[in-house]
Structure 1
Amino acid sequence: MNEMSWTPLGPPSLPPLPKPPPMPVGFSGKRDEFFQLVKRGAGLELVTLGFYRFWLTTDIRRHLWSNTQIDGDGAEYTGRGRELLIGFLVALAILVPIYLAYFLAGLEAEHYKAFASIPLVAFFYLFGQFAIFRARRYRLTRTVWRGVRFWMSGSGWIYALQASLWGLLSMATLGLALPWRTAALERYKMRHSYYGDLQGKFEGSGWEFFKRGWWLWLLAPMAFLMPLFAPFIYGAFKAVEWRWWLSGIRIGGVRLESELPRSRLIGLYWKVIGWMAVLGLVFSVYLAAATALVASISGEGIGEFFKSQESSQSILLLVLAGIGYLVFALALNVVIRVYLMRDLWVRVLESINIHGIEAAANVSARGELANALGEGFADGLDVAGF
């Protein structure tokens, strides 16, 4: 009997699983809730002379982070208002002596003061870029998704030096180098950004950014000559920038893609301008009424009141004008936060699709918390991003 050798048949090989479709990003927050949050925060800012803004900033971030839904899960913002306040106070303790030293030096050498302002501006620009980098590091380390924290490495001073050198080149080229500057700085930031053990990178190029918005550079002078066109040009530019930036982000195997139309953000800027006009009109009417009230108390007509020196020395009028201005500024902040924070955030999120989200399924937690000093510097220099 002949022996036959044979290999047992295994299960048939399965075809490779298809890649999951892109994952859209959703937003579950209600506009009325956000409006009530910023309205209440503006009132508390008025009562606390602005110090509540650190807690309001924290509440705004928590609202936006937690309602941003990625694969069914919202992010968590773990920062605290007290951290921002302490960082701001420490930053002031460093910045105020610098301002004071410059002021005293100007008194000692008045004829050199104009020239001394150049290195001062250069120093604060460099320091401002350092603050922007450190503030980003703070926000990343306070952002958690599915129990894993984002974090950041890198040197704020190296970033500041690169930003400053690119800034000089952008000035020398009348802004034409701006796309390459933005791309280079984003590559540095994303190369040092992490989600757990997944490293980020940025694949957008300056040439690609320039190709998408070269016509906006040509139209930019029109915004200065005819301000009516400024919201159209700036709104289109920001939409192009957002789309280019988001489409270049990579975190490990996760890739973002944005289809934000150029016209999507223009209406938001026009709404802010409209509200500025309305609030400015209300403020003007309030000032006129306050002046009439003070004039009637002094027993003079409005015309006679303005002709006298009492109009410029009236404590009551100054107090009423100051209160009115604070209310006007806080109301304008509410408008900006609703339209250029919340609504802009939502419109940008609606344009995003995420590819390869499964690459973030098994991530190991890494990184350490950063302090809020960088955010304090950014706040003190008025360069704090959101």
Structure 2
Amino acid sequence: MNDMSWTPLGPPQPPPVPPPMPVGFSGKRQEFFRLVARGAGLELATVGFYRFWLTTDIRRHLWSNTQIDGDAPEYTGRAKELLIGFLIALAILVPIYLGYFLIGIEAEHLRAFASLPLVAFFYLFGQFAIYRARRYRLTRTVWRGVRFWMSGSGWIYALKASLWGLLVVITLGLALPWREAALERYKMRHSYYGDLRGSFEGRGWDFFKQGWWLWLLTPFALYMTIFAPFIYAAFKAIEWRWWLSGIRFGKVRLESTMRRSALIGLYWKVIGWAMLLGTLFFAYLVLCALLVASMDGSSIETFFKTEAFAKSIPLITLAGVGYLAFVLAMNVVMRVYLMRDLWVRVLSSTIVHNIEAAANVTARGELANALGEGFADGLDVAGF
């Protein structure tokens, strides 16, 4: 008889915890530059209407080159949706502007009308647009065949944002961290990835602890503007890190390791380009004035002293073309540095934990219309 030995089995071991998953970006900077430079030229040719197609192309580029666990999300929005949403929003906003203008003229002699109600109304409307625009972008984002989506009420969010905004004004900005935390909790608990519900764990106190010293330095930035880029860039870096680290979808959570100084270089590059392009625009205006004066047959001193300078149609036309070129060139700069490069730096600092919890998700949710994007575009507001 052979001796047999065996080791008693212990308690079952928990499955190994997968390592955190970094987020990457595979897009080339030169490719993005060509995209936005070409788009700027088409915006000039179409008097701005090409921006809906450019916005769609930019989002597709950024989404498709973002790598999460080896897979990239897909942006399924269409430029035609943005255009229709903008036109509908315009049809709503223009009569409001016109009605307010007419009422203001009628009540002017009574001195009983002020611009405060209009500002308050459009602030409320702008917050509604921010919520609905985010809802549209989420429902046009698909990852591994499953769509993100969003429920909730844009008007309830707008009311919360307005009341919190009033508190921020009363407290001279001290309530801002708690405002951001409250609004983000509302947005995230109505955000879904399939049947995986979102949540936000960031606290206003944590945000305040990281950035309270910026609040103390803000008066110095207002007095000496050279400090403003440093303070604003540090604030945005803290905000990004706090915001990303608070996002949850079920057991999936994000973490950001962004440093406070990570964005300072981007803002200074934009300022440098603005100064360079502004100098070129000024030189262009001087050359245009010299050209028009020589065509008029008068000396430059005489030309500037007469009314012909202010009423010169050729000079006004040339100045208008130069101004549009300056604005579009600045748009290219801002899209390259504050959209693409900012996107890359944010992603490079982002880590995803428990990504396996998103493996077995059931598709749910319906598409949202682009009306919110139209309002956001018409009111020139934006948000996360």
Equivalent residue for 1:126? 124
Write the distance in 1 (CA, Å) between the matches of 2:53 and 2:250: 33
Equivalent residue for 1:78? 76
Write the distance in 2 (CA, Å) between the matches of 1:112 and 1:210: 46
On the 8 A contact 1:375/1:384 being kept in 2, the answer is no
1:221 alignment partner AA:
P
Q: Offset of 1:222 from its aligned partner?
A: 1.0
Q: Offset of 1:29 from its aligned partner?
A: 0.2
Q: 2:186 aligns with which of 183, 188, 211?
A: 188
TM-score, structure 1 normalization: 0.96
Q: 1:329 aligns with which of 324, 327, 330?
A: 327
Equivalent residue for 1:203? 201
Distance 1:380 1:299, change over 3 A: same
Q: Offset of 1:15 from its aligned partner?
A: 2.0
Q: 2:101 aligns with which of 92, 96, 103?
A: 103
Equivalent residue for 1:296? 294
Write the distance in 1 (CA, Å) between the matches of 2:206 and 2:142: 31
Q: 1:38 aligns with which of 30, 36, 53?
A: 36
Structure 2 residue 213 is the aligned partner of structure 1 residue 215: yes
2:322 alignment partner AA:
G
Equivalent residue for 2:350? 352
1:325 alignment partner AA:
Y
Write the distance in 2 (CA, Å) between the matches of 1:225 and 1:150: 44
On the 8 A contact 1:129/1:160 being kept in 2, the answer is yes
Equivalent residue for 1:230? 228
Matches within 5 A, 1:266-345: 266-345=264-343
Name segments (4+ residues, structure 1) moved above 4 Å: 9-14, 111-114
TM-score, structure 2 normalization: 0.97
Write the distance in 2 (CA, Å) between the matches of 1:301 and 1:44: 38
Equivalent residue for 1:250? 248
1:146-185 CA distances to partner (integer Å, 9 max, x unpaired)? 0100000000000000000000000000000000000000
1:347-375 CA distances to partner (integer Å, 9 max, x unpaired)? 01000110000000010000000000000
Structure 2 residue 168 is the aligned partner of structure 1 residue 170: yes
Equivalent residue for 1:4? none
Write the distance in 2 (CA, Å) between the matches of 1:145 and 1:214: 37
Equivalent residue for 2:49? 51
**Structure 1: gaps of 5 or more residues:** 1-8
**Structure 2: gaps of 5 or more residues:** 1-6
Distance 1:186 1:130, change over 3 A: same
Q: 1:16 aligns with which of 14, 17, 40?
A: 14
Equivalent position SS for 2:328: helix
Equivalent position SS for 2:115: helix
On the 8 A contact 1:135/1:374 being kept in 2, the answer is yes
Write the distance in 2 (CA, Å) between the matches of 1:113 and 1:28: 59
Q: Offset of 1:328 from its aligned partner?
A: 0.2
1:380 alignment partner AA:
G
Equivalent residue for 2:3? none
Write the distance in 2 (CA, Å) between the matches of 1:335 and 1:122: 32
Identity percentage over the alignment?
A: 77
Q: Offset of 1:112 from its aligned partner?
A: 5.3
Q: 2:373 aligns with which of 363, 375, 381?
A: 375
- Paired residues, what number? 379
2:60 alignment partner AA:
R
Distance 1:187 1:113, change over 3 A: farther
Write the distance in 2 (CA, Å) between the matches of 1:89 and 1:301: 48
Write the distance in 1 (CA, Å) between the matches of 2:112 and 2:346: 43
Write the distance in 1 (CA, Å) between the matches of 2:349 and 2:111: 50
On the 8 A contact 1:140/1:152 being kept in 2, the answer is yes
Equivalent position SS for 1:320: helix
Write the distance in 2 (CA, Å) between the matches of 1:101 and 1:139: 32
Equivalent position SS for 2:238: helix
Write the distance in 2 (CA, Å) between the matches of 1:375 and 1:69: 26
Q: Offset of 1:385 from its aligned partner?
A: 3.8
Write the distance in 2 (CA, Å) between the matches of 1:159 and 1:112: 36
Write the distance in 1 (CA, Å) between the matches of 2:366 and 2:299: 66
Q: Offset of 1:11 from its aligned partner?
A: 8.0
Write the distance in 2 (CA, Å) between the matches of 1:180 and 1:310: 57
1:29-75 CA distances to partner (integer Å, 9 max, x unpaired)? 00000000000000000000000001100000000000000000001
Q: Offset of 1:115 from its aligned partner?
A: 3.8
Q: CA RMSD in A?
A: 1.5
Write the distance in 2 (CA, Å) between the matches of 1:143 and 1:70: 13
Distance 1:363 1:10, change over 3 A: farther
